[in-house]
């Protein structure tokens, strides 16, 4: 009997009220939630990379994290964030990284970035526009002046 491939995602946001708190590493909250769906377009992109049919890898230059304000349930046929408000940030230096079966993407949403309710998340290739996944989780409302580093870890298992 063949085993099924599963993807588990951990979304972690570290919330800082100000740049001063960020510099002192004094967050007011750290939230971690599970939830994810690999998108059909994302799975297709992975296979094209494996087969050598794509020249646009999910590397530091191309990989962005996206946040949006839609709480519409994730569906495999979606291709991006659905919210009226959407913000994409390029991965921080050294990300995405791969360790075993896990991909980790990390970006920092600065004081003026994505100041609205965070409900949905993607890992996106900015060169191709293809999102690997879409997760729907309520992580709160970011306000002006706050800094929220965001980490998305996708682990494949069977």
**Rounded to whole angstroms, how far apart are CA atoms 80 and 118?**
15
Helix (H) or strand (E) holding 22: helix 19-23
Per-residue confidence at 43, pLDDT binned at 50, 70, 90? confident
Phi, psi values for residue 16, rounded to 5°: -120, 135
Question: What's the average model confidence in pLDDT over 136-141?
Answer: 94
pTM of this structure = 0.91
The count of other CB atoms within 10 Å of the CB of residue 157 is 11
């Amino acid at each position: 009997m063949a085993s099924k491939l599963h993807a588990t995602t951990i979304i972690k946001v570290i919330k800082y009220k100000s740049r001063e708190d960020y510099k002192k590493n004094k967050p007011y909250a750290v939230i971690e939630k599970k939830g994810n769906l690999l998108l059909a377009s994302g799975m297709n992109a992975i296979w094209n990379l494996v087969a050598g049919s794509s020249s646009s890898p999910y590397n530091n230059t191309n990989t962005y994290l996206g946040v949006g304000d839609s709480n519409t349930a994730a569906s495999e046929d979606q291709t991006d964030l659905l919210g009226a408000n959407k913000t994409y940030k390029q991965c921080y230096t050294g990300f995405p990284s791969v360790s075993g079966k896990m991909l980790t993407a990390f970006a920092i949403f600065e004081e003026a970035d994505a100041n609205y309710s965070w409900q949905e998340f993607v890992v996106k290739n900015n060169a191709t526009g293809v999102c690997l996944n879409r997760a729907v989780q309520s992580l709160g409302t970011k306000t002006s002046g706050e800094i929220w580093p965001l980490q998305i870890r996708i682990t494949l298992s069977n």
